[in-house]
Amino acid sequence: MLDIHMIKKVFPILALCVFSAMLGVGIIAPLLPLYAENLGATGIWLGVIFAGFFISRAIVTPIIGRLSDRSGRKLFLCTGLLIYSVISLGYIWAGDVLQLTVVRLIQGAASGMIIPIAQAYIGDISPEGEEGKWMGYFNAAFFAGFGFGPLMGGVLTDHFGMDVAFYTMGALNLLALLVAALFLPEIRQEKMAVSPHPSFKKMGTSGIVKGLFSFRLSFALGRGAFTCFIPIFAAVYLNLSPTLIGILLAVNILLMALLQVYGGGIADRFNRRALVVSGSVINLIFLALIPLADNFWQLLGLCALSGFGGAVSMPAASALTIEEGRKFGMGSTIAIFTMAMSIGMAIGPLVGGVIVDFLNIDSVFYFAAGVGLIGASLFAWFSR
């Protein structure tokens, strides 16, 4: 069993890196549509700008994951944080829609060096039987950063201007870079979970890996559709104010972040497969019920339900990913898991936009719920 003192020493550094990276993503979230429109972005370009981040991350992540299994984690993590810090200035310098798209693509690639590599690092040093606990902590830092980001971005923009929000994003990631470079030890090769001949083809024969990919893809697609279209649904159909919409999103994300810690402990004590399926079912019920909500309180209750569903399924799925990572290489396995999330987050808003244009906004949430049902079924089938 790996030294428990090591993970207690290293985890706060990795949590800071993840929190800072996701805080940067969250800061941009409420500003990007306005910023892009000021640069003349049409609806199609807006979709491309949003999706570009996740597309480049999906491409880069498997490559970096494999390389980190062979060469170590720290170099890639620090490189990603450095690029993140510098590219934050790109949002200020971007003079047109094409330049803004390039900035998003570079930032997405940098994200592929931070989040999955930090997660692989934790997977390497997580004691057996405590994978859920430490993945729960990791997910809490992940969602907390993304949850507080929009609030910080809005406050900074209102009081100091949009440029200050982008400078702040860069400064936070520069701080995380300095902490990681100075205090994060490079993990020794013998402690890294690397198979002698890591192979994505061999990984594809694992039912658990295929099931986790299906779950993560469907979960992310639902999250992408929800994040993109719930503000429109709430504003247009329920006539809610921007403040109330912000409360809905904050409750959803921050409750999920808070409950990840408890979900991680549950994942170490109960059947992880059953927890993934149960959380998936809760999430698809939440999506299917959104069109039936007719006031703020009903929608708030559904957002809380979604946070609970994510807290049940995500730590269990992350713990299963670590178990598979010990067989196929931690960086490579987590890269596949992250790639599925990136694809889902890119597809969700794009497909949702088409559905809104040809049908209606209610159909977006029904579609996302249907995809969630398929994902849960595939996970249960492949991992049986």
pLDDT of residue 191: 53
Given this model, what pLDDT does residue 30 score? 66
pLDDT at 102: 92
pLDDT number for residue 264: 80
The domain locations on the chain are: 4-183+197-382
* Contact between 276 and 379 (Cβ < 8 Å): yes
Convert the pLDDT of each residue in 262-305 to its tens digit: 888 888 888 888 898 998 899 889 899 999 988 889 989 998 88
pLDDT average, residue stretch 367-384 = 89
The CATH superfamily holding the domain 4-183+197-382 is MFS general substrate transporter like domains (1.20.1250.20)
pLDDT in tens, 65-98: 888 888 788 899 999 999 988 998 888 888 888 8
Phi, psi at 239, each rounded to 5°: 55, 40
pLDDT at 197: 53
Residue 43 pLDDT level (bands cut at 50, 70, 90):
low
- Residue range 299-337, pLDDT digits in tens: 899 988 888 888 888 888 888 888 888 787 777 888 888
Give, in order, the Cα–Cα distances in Å from 372 to each of 196, 223, 354, 358, 375.
Answer: 35, 10, 19, 21, 5
Could you tell me if 106 and 83 are in contact, meaning their C-beta atoms sit under 8 angstroms apart?
yes
pLDDT at 57 over 50: yes
Number of residues assigned to the chain: 384
Residues whose CB falls within 8 Å of the CB of residue 22, separated by 6 or more in sequence, listed in order = 115, 141, 142, 143, 144, 145, 146, 149
The pLDDT assigned to 370 comes to 92
Select the highest-mean-pLDDT range: 13-22, 216-225, 331-340, 366-375: 366-375
Query: In percent, how much of the chain has pLDDT > 70?
Result: 92
Asked if residues 198 and 329 have their Cβ atoms less than 8 Å apart, the reply is yes
The reported pLDDT for the residue numbered 127 is 78
Share of the chain above pLDDT 90, in %: 9
pLDDT recorded at residue 1: 45
List pLDDT tens digits, range 177-197: 998 888 888 775 555 555 555
* Nearest alpha-carbon partner for 377 in 199, 172, 217, 178: 217
C-alpha distances out from residue 310 to 44, 124, 237, 250, 304, Å: 30, 24, 26, 14, 10
Of the listed ranges 34-43, 60-69, 308-317, the one predicted with least confidence? 34-43
Collapsed DSSP state (helix, strand, coil) of residue 66 = helix
The pTM (predicted TM-score) of the whole model is 0.78
Say if residue 114's pLDDT is above 60.
yes
For 207-228, how does the pLDDT look when each residue is reduced to its tens digit (9 = 90+)? 888 888 899 899 888 888 887 7
Which residues lie below 8 Å from residue 357, measured CB to CB, with a gap of 6+? Answer: none
User: What pLDDT is attached to residue 307?
Assistant: 84
How many C-beta atoms lie closer than 10 Å to residue 377's C-beta? 14
